[in-house]
Structure 1
């Protein structure tokens, strides 16, 4: 496998789909797989937000990036809710289904708009460079959960989402602002 960022992102999408399928259909595996799923989802999202979205934005995909970032903000909230819900609770299937539905929608849109835009607007060398940066960032964030986010990462999310004034906000204020920006 090459390191084209589009291929790497799509590979993660397929891996998340497999995890979702297992979580939905094999309740006895939920307790073990929820942390795996939230870790992969968080690492993938942070790598896209920090490395890929800024490049896609610069290459003319501003509207797609803003929309995708807002969907990431929603996914963070939903993933946190899943992680905080007991896998044996009667509330768990509903929380999980909300996350799966949001991620499925996001993946479909991203694969229809953002990723083809990256392929069209960025040459092979730049996509390979972004692929390496994506992998390094993803690796650095493995083990993170949605709540494990720095002020600098929040600032980047704000830039991706088109939120102005982020640098003058405290971390808490910025988190509240971004939560309000989440697609729902």
Structure 2
């Protein structure tokens, strides 16, 4: 079996998120069961990208602006997941927030699949992408079940670095949080 490719793993997660979005739209009665699945997948996927993929995409594939933009979109998705977790899945407000999340994540996926991922395919060797696939898979597995807003200081520092915030490594957790965009 050939080595896995981090680009393919990321795109597989994107397809699963799209499947969950469709189910959330068409099966409202199943939302209490589907939302935890969606939140778990989105958060684990985002954290793995932020810790393992984005630093390499930025430093080795030259995708600096795209990584910063993608990090901002992750912040927005995390905030919306947090808001959705507090709403009644049968409410009109939930419908509205869900559509906002779907729109934002769909936009993010389209951008990532048209800029960052092709850049990684072009500029990183097959072996490097296989190495990243392993790191991404391990980080993703470690974060399954995480909830919005539950990042460690180290995870927040990585987000800030992905955004290009200078000196984040010497800041306290609260100081780093202040440097992150607020949706």
* 2:153 aligns with one of 147, 151, 154: 151
TM-score by length of 2: 0.94
Moved more, 83-92 or 23-32: 83-92
SS at match of 2:149: coil
1:2, 1:146 → 2: CA distance? 32
Residues 53-64 of structure 1: pairs in structure 2 closer than 5 A = 53-59=54-60, 60-64=62-66
Provide the residue aligned with 1:91 in structure 2: 93
Q: Which runs of 5+ in 1 are unaligned?
A: none
Superposed CA deviations along residues 1-47 of structure 1, whole A, max 9, x for unmatched, are 85100000000000000000000111000011111100100000000
Deviating above 6 A after TM superposition, structure 1's stretches of 4 or more consecutive aligned residues are none
1:174, 1:129 → 2: CA distance? 29
SS at match of 1:16: helix
2:172, 2:95 → 1: CA distance? 35
* 1:133 aligns with one of 129, 132, 135: 135
Count of matched residue positions in the alignment of Structure 1 and Structure 2: 181
Compute the RMSD of aligned alpha carbons: 1.3
Provide the residue aligned with 1:76 in structure 2: 78
1:90, 1:110 → 2: CA distance? 30
Provide the residue aligned with 1:16 in structure 2: 17
1:35 has 2:21 as partner:
no
Provide the residue aligned with 2:49 in structure 1: 48
Per the TM alignment, residue 94 of structure 1 is displaced from its structure 2 partner at its CA by: 0.3
TM-score by length of 1: 0.94
2:116, 2:122 → 1: CA distance? 10
Superposed CA deviations along residues 26-77 of structure 1, whole A, max 9, x for unmatched, are 1000011111100100000000000000001112111111111111111111
